[in-house]
Amino acid sequence: MERNILIHINPAGELMWEHGLYSVDRPKEKYGLRTVEATRMYDFVANLINSRTSEENLFIFGGNK
């Protein structure tokens, strides 16, 4: 919060759909329940961080949306 960093995970969520990590239903479709295997999600997020694309996919600096 001191650095004015805001959580912004919608882009990462869309990437997870595109890469087939989520299963079941998208939000606002049928039940809107989605599931993902924890280790696959961990590896996916670790890759975003290691490839230095986490800023645009997981968080933003305040006002840079």
Confidence of residue 65 (pLDDT cuts 50, 70, 90): very low
Per-residue pLDDT at 63 exceeds 60:
no
56 torsion bin: left (phi>0), alpha (psi -120 to 50), beta (else): alpha
Domain count within the chain? 1
The candidate with the shortest Cα–Cα distance to 19, out of 36, 1, 31, is 36
Supply the range of the domain harboring residue 39. Answer: 5-61
Q: What's the pLDDT tens digit per position in 1-25?
A: 566 777 778 888 889 999 999 988 7
- Vertex 26: Cα angle to 16 and 47 (nearest 5): 10
pTM of the model: 0.69
